[in-house]
Homo-oligomer: A and B are copies of this chain.
């Protein structure tokens, strides 16, 4: 695994805002983040401006970094709640407060292997930087991107430009194959002779992608999305059960130990629970009686 880099806090100027299908994209001047960026990193963005009632940062994968203005960072997002709807209202020349780059990036193969990059909805955004890095190492890159409908498949065009093959799926059949990326995955793995799978998207999708990859016995790296409050390892909000090298399940933080994990190590079925055999689980031998009221 790659070692984490030191994140920095940057108050950057919004350079451009644009709509990409159902998504919004913001490009922010943030040299300190851009120079440290590696594929898989995310940023944590303060929302709401001065005197806002919204305290927690919002996490977004970095879609792109560019050298302009000393270094810019772009992220792509969908409007979900009040924070993202505030972000959607930002205009060029507004300032934005980012912390990043955060998280462990995607590990890159040493050899020029064949890589299948699987993305669901805005999860695809993080895959293009990865594709770049892989291609620089002479890896073959194929894409499998999906979404609920045509406008929710992110990056189809760019994938078509970069990938040897690009397969698209939509649940309503409005673009590409009807169904999910998981449905299409076995066929694509076979067709592309993938040696390794990288995936980013909703948990359900990552579970499915992992299951298929395991069946094909090829390594799979997933970038998970867990609700976060800080993004840099201090609040313990973003934990999920992951099996360590020693076979022990621990509740690890998606923001610093992740967001990228080896798929088969993530106990997807137990996400949102404390598995009884996790280290320090209630009832486990030696578990402390202490319980904080909150």
**A residues within 8 Å of B by Cβ?**
48-54, 82, 85-86
Contact = CB atoms under 8 A, between A and B. Distances in A.
Contact of A53 (B53, B82, B85, B86): B53
A92 to B, nearest CB: 14
> What is the copy number of this chain in the assembly?
2
Nearest to A49: B49
Given A50-B82, A51-B53, A52-B53, 11 more contacts: A48-B51, A48-B52, A49-B49, A50-B85, A50-B86, A51-B52, A51-B54, A51-B82, A51-B86, A52-B52, A53-B53
Most buried by B among A49, A51, A54, A85: A51
A50 B52 CA distance: 8
A189 B172 CA distance: 82
Nearest to A83: B51
A86 B52 CA distance: 11
Contacts of A48: 51-52
The 9 closest A-B pairs by CB, nearest first: A53-B53, A51-B82, A51-B53, A48-B51, A51-B54, A51-B52, A52-B53, A52-B52, A51-B86
A234 to B, nearest CB: 23
Nearest to A81: B51
Contacts of A50: 82, 85-86
A23 to B, nearest CB: 21
Contacts of A53: 51-53
Contacts of A54: 51
Contacts of A49: 49
A244 B54 CA distance: 46
Nearest to A82: B51
Contacts of A82: 50-51
5 contacts: A48-B51, A50-B85, A51-B52, A51-B53, A51-B86
A145 to B, nearest CB: 33
A50 B82 CA distance: 8
